Amino acid sequence: SYLGSDLSIANEKIKFIQDPYGEKEIAVVPPLKPDIAFLHAQRSDAQGNTQLWGLVGIHKEVAFAAKHLVVVVEDVVDDQTIRQDPNRTIIPGLIVDAVVREPFGAHPSYVQGYYDRDNQFYLNWDKISRDQQATEKWLQEWVYDVPNRESYLNKLGSEKIRLLAPGEMWAKPVNYGRYD
């Protein structure tokens, strides 16, 4: 709800309508419809059936709302692997336009079970982003002068990548059962 907040004054898209089932007013907002969305996940098959675990945030909603969807994954796996654990498939290939295999593609953010959040990067970024010149210098060095992800990772260095590797914490496999 937005009752009692100034947010609805600042954002005219927040509207209040009569609750059709009651006396009071309720807040409504229009749906977001992105033209294109890019989502990062642990794995998908070649058709884009995508599995993710860890914080799932608003991934599913974004995926289904967008007109076009690109998933970027750490691993491309065979469809059998996906179908062994269907509860983990958040995004069906049906709505995926393209799959990009890009290990470590979420850095400086993290992928649950694959690599950690690069907290030092974010702390540095707080300082860099306060200053126009420092921001431009960073963009030049880390975005414009880096031709592809591979050179980004080379620049980042294997020591950094090693430091961001998490320890292991496996879930027990579950039995879906065979019903033939």
Partner 1 sequence: MDYSPAEIMIVNASRALRGSKVVFVGVGLPNIACNLARESHSPDMELVYESGVFGAHPARLPLSIGDPTLVSDATSVMSMSDLFSLYLQGGLVDTALLGGAQIDRFGNLNTTIIGDYAKPKVRLPGSGGACEIAINARQVLIIMRLKRRAFVEQLDFRTSPGHLDGSGNREALDLPGGGPRLVISDRALFDFAVDSSEMTLIEIAPGETIESIQEDVGWRLKISPELKEMNPPTSKDLHLIRTQLDPDGMYR
Residues that bind partner 1 (CB under 8 A): 1-7, 10, 24, 53-61, 109-110, 112-113, 116-117, 119, 122-123, 166, 169
Q: How far is the CB of 28 from partner 1 (least distance, A)?
A: 15
Closest CB to partner 1 among residues 2, 152: 2
Q: How far is the CB of 29 from partner 1 (least distance, A)?
A: 12
Question: What 8-state DSSP symbol labels residue 86?
Answer: G
- Terminal CA-CA length for the chain: 48
Tell me the pairing of strands 15-18 and 89-91: unpaired
Q: How far is the CB of 80 from partner 1 (least distance, A)?
A: 25
Closest CB to partner 1 among residues 170, 179: 170
Closest CB to partner 1 among residues 53, 104: 53
Closest CB to partner 1 among residues 117, 149: 117
Long-range contact pairs involving 51-57 (C-beta distance under 8 Å, separation at least 24): 51/82, 51/85, 51/88, 51/89, 51/90, 52/88, 52/90, 52/91, 53/88, 53/112, 53/113, 54/111, 54/112, 54/113, 55/112, 56/90
Q: How far is the CB of 144 from partner 1 (least distance, A)?
A: 27
